[in-house]
Amino acid sequence: MVTLEEGAAAVRAAREAAAAEIAGRVCDPALPASFDAEKGVFVTISKYPSGRLRGCIGYPEPVFPLREALALSARAASCHDPRFDRMAPAELEQCVFEVTVLTVPKTIKFDTLAELKAQIRIGEDGLIMNYRGNRGLFLPQVPVEWHWGLDEYLDNLSEKAGLPADTWKHKGASFQKFQGEIFAETAPHRDVVRK
């Protein structure tokens, strides 16, 4: 469990790391010792107040200490997300930061599509889908933000993997699920809340 204080520190550190990357300098934000544990994390940057996505990068697996994964994700989300241009310094002040700290992804075992769907909870479970070398991932908050039902969630996950929408129904598609603790700024540089 990540405390609100730790979540707020994570969001501030993500903003600091992004600002340093944009400015072409290195920073090492001060974070509590709890950030030494290896955890998966995503940093999402959105335009304020529209909420339009500006960058989202992360590590679904706990391959780095959280402090390192957080800095790498923030730097990548601000300047190296292939869907967007590099962020300009002035643009940073018009964005809000969100940090999602992840549980370890667990394989979903199923024999039928009904069994697969029965194990997925909208709003709680993020998903990773693998199929023939293609991979797609959505954080738990994505289907809620887009008002997707379960089939839409899985259709869009297939498309995120660069595949036709119905690929999730194909034999050989495999899935992992994970949960996330989400912390976000209410406005640029403002209070951080648990979502």
Domains with residue ranges and CATH for the chain: 4-103+180-194 (3.30.700.20), 106-178 (3.30.1490.150)
Q: Say if CB 110 and CB 186 are below 8 A apart.
A: no
Contact 47, 94 (CB under 8 A): yes
Please give the torsion angle defined by the CA atoms of residues 163, 139, 154 and 128, in that order, rounded to the nearest 10 degrees. Answer: 60
Tens place of pLDDT per residue across the chain (195 aa): 899 999 999 999 999 999 999 999 988 888 999 999 999 999 999 999 999 999 999 999 999 999 999 999 999 999 999 999 999 999 999 999 999 999 999 999 999 999 999 999 999 999 999 999 999 999 999 999 999 999 999 999 999 999 999 999 999 999 999 999 999 999 999 999 999
- Burial grade of 109 (CB within 10 A; 0-12, 13-18, 19 or more): exposed
Collapsing DSSP to helix, strand or coil, 186 comes out as coil
Q: Whole-structure pTM over 0.95, yes or no?
A: no
Please return the burial class of 158, using the count of CB atoms within 10 Å of its CB with bins 0-12, 13-18 and 19+: buried
CA distance 190 to 194: 13
